């Protein structure tokens, strides 16, 4: 929503021109969207609104907010920014998983869904849980195999793609998949890893884009929130998703909305720095004798490199490395002191973890795989910390790594 330039508001307070979003690039939108109209003496930032209810009116068609579960100016500001970045209309939820559930609610009993063979654990678990209760048919597919994805999606009610995938870093050719998906198949893309700065799935024909705003959008590991984005013209689906949010009550908190919007202001600079760090570390890790395979689409020999070069504006700041075994992986994450041993990703701090420490992680993920979310620290401090921790590990090959 762009407010047209005007001379004054209804009270006669002078107001100033606001930018036309359609003409702006992502870096500028991240800074400019979700602000109040430019009125003299108005705050530059949308203030957090703590409200369980609002003053109402009997006037028909006034469109008043009504109640704190139905809407909030703090959500709206954050949604304006996320929608502008993805090129659509956004709805925010209490978490990425709440957003995922709102999407799965669109599936009638007995539907069929295609899921990535590797994807965020919570999504796979949520689908499995619904499958038994609602008679869903679930098929999994390697998202990097475009022909297989399109074939699996034929006749399916929903195609769910995550790219790059967590934690195996497969890259999907979204434009090719979008061109191949036809008919009534709802095409959903989890864009958490790439962020809207590296790819905008709606432009590839996705019907719904999902974000765990907990990750890059927030960027500071201090808020849990989710978002969905639909094309601007798709009022029907927007309303269906909004109704689910109202009735399920999985609404974002005011403080979370404020923090995520605050995080979005610096998304572009954070991503550029973290991505540059990741590129350097991926190259060095690939040369290290204790490290087996490095999964990072920015590496020339990575299976996702060609597609990522074509369809993404950058390779992101996540990578996975394989160490010889569980013991080596645990030794690495325990020995580091700058890197934080923690789950989650997309924050300013560099974080890593052995993914198989989670009981639900797929057995296709190697025991010694460590997912690394590279932050914005000085790259040489990150490398020194890693190198020190790697020094005590056995070489990958002689330790029995495959």
Ligand X SMILES: *Cc1c(COP(=O)(O)O)cnc(C)c1O
Active site residue 357: no
Q: Does residue 92 belong to the site contacting ligand X (CB under 6 A)? A: no
Applying CB under 6 A, the span of 75-83, 211-219, 287-295, 393-401 interacting with ligand X comes to 211-219
Cα separation, 235 vs 243, in Å, equals: 12
Closer residue to ligand X, CB minimum distance, 87 or 226: 226
Which string of b and e fits 84-107 if b means at least 16 CB within 10 Å? bbbbbbbbbbbbbbbbbbbbbbbb
As measured in angstroms, the least distance from the Cβ of 29 to ligand X is 22
Q: How far is Cα 282 from Cα 278, in angstroms, rounded to an integer?
A: 6
H/E element, 160: strand 158-162
Known catalytic residue at 120: yes
Please tell me whether residue 19 binds ligand X under the rule CB under 6 A. Answer: no
To the nearest whole angstrom, how small is the minimum distance from the Cβ of residue 352 to ligand X? 14
Whether residue 158 contacts residue 165, with contact meaning beta carbons closer than 8 Å, is answered with: no
Query: Mask of contacts with ligand X, 268-307, x by CB under 6 A?
Result: ----------------------------------------
Cβ atoms of residues 188 and 322 within 8 Å: no
Provide CB contacts within 8 A for 64, sequence distance 6+. Answer: 54, 56, 57
Choose, from 35, 89, 130, 215, the residue flagged as catalytic: 215
* Contact between 162 and ligand X per CB under 6 A: yes
Q: How far is the CB of 122 from ligand X (least distance, A)?
A: 5
Among 34, 96, 167, 231, binds ligand X (CB under 6 A): 96
Out of 173, 190, 325, 367, pick the active-site residue: 190
Residues from 254 through 273 that contact ligand X (CB under 6 A): none
**Residues with Cβ within 8 Å of residue 313, at least 6 apart in sequence:** 197, 198, 199
Q: Does 122 bind ligand X (CB under 6 A)?
A: yes
Task: Answer whether 92's CB lies under 8 Å from 232's CB.
Answer: no
**Can residue 95 be called a binding residue for ligand X (CB under 6 A)?**
yes
277 and 298 in contact (C-beta within 8 Å)?
A: no
Total site size for ligand X, rule CB under 6 A: 16
Of the two residues 119 and 156, which places its CB atom closer to ligand X in the complex?
119
Bridge pairing between strands 186-190 and 208-212: parallel
Binding of ligand X at residue 226 (CB under 6 A)? yes
Angle between helices 73-86 and 254-264 (to 10 degrees): 30
Site membership for ligand X, residue 196 (CB under 6 A): no
Residues 174-193, one symbol each (x = binds ligand X by CB under 6 A, - = not), give ----------------x-xx
Catalytic residue (one of 35, 93, 120, 173): 120
| CB closest to ligand X, residue no | 96
Nearby residues of 321 by Cβ (< 8 Å), 6 or more positions away: 285, 291, 292, 293, 294, 295, 369, 370, 372
- Positions annotated as catalytic residues are 69, 120, 190, 215
Which residues form the interface with ligand X (CB under 6 A)?
95-97, 120, 122-123, 162, 166, 190, 192-193, 212, 214-215, 224, 226
């Amino acid at each position: 929503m762009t407010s047209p330039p005007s001379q004054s508001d209804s009270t006669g307070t002078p107001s100033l021109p606001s930018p036309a979003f359609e003409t702006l690039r992502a870096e500028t939108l991240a800074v400019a969207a979700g602000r109040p109209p430019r009125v003299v003496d108005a705050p530059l930032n949308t203030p957090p609104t703590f409200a369980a209810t609002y003053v109402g009116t009997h006037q028909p068609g006034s469109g008043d907010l009504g109640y704190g579960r139905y809407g909030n100016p703090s959500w709206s500001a954050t949604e304006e920014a996320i929608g502008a970045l993805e090129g659509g209309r956004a709805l925010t939820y209490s978490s990425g998983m709440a957003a995922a559930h709102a999407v799965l609610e669109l599936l009638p009993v007995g539907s069929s869904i295609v899921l990535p063979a590797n994807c965020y654990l919570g999504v796979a678990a949520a689908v499995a849980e619904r499958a038994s209760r609602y008679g869903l048919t679930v098929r999994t597919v390697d998202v990097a195999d475009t022909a297989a994805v399109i074939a699996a999606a034929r006749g399916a009610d929903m195609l769910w793609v995550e790219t790059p995938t967590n934690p195996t870093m497969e890259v999907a050719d979204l434009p090719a998949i979008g061109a191949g998906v036809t008919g009534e198949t709802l095409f959903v893309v989890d864009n958490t890893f790439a962020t809207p700065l590296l790819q905008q799935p709606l432009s590839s024909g996705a019907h719904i884009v999902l974000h765990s705003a907990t990750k890059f959008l927030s960027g500071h590991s201090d808020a849990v929130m989710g978002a969905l984005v639909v094309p601007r013209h798709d009022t029907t689906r927007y309303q269906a998703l909004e109704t689910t949010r109202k009735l399920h009550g999985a609404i974002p908190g005011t403080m979370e909305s404020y923090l995520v919007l605050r995080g979005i202001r610096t998304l572009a600079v954070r991503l550029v720095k973290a991505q540059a760090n990741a590129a350097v570390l991926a190259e060095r890790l690939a040369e290290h004798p204790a490290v087996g395979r490095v999964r990072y689409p920015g590496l020339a020999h990575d299976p996702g490199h060609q597609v990522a070069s074509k369809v993404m504006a950058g390779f992101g700041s996540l990578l996975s490395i394989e160490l010889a075994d569980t013991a080596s992986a645990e030794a690495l994450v325990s020995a580091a002191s700058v890197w934080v041993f923690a789950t989650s990703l997309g924050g300013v701090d560099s974080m890593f973890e052995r993914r198989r420490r989670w009981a639900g992680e797929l057995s296709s993920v190697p025991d010694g795989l460590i997912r690394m979310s590279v932050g914005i620290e000085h790259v040489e401090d990150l490398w020194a910390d890693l190198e020190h921790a790697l020094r005590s590990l056995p070489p990958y090959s002689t330790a029995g790594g495959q």
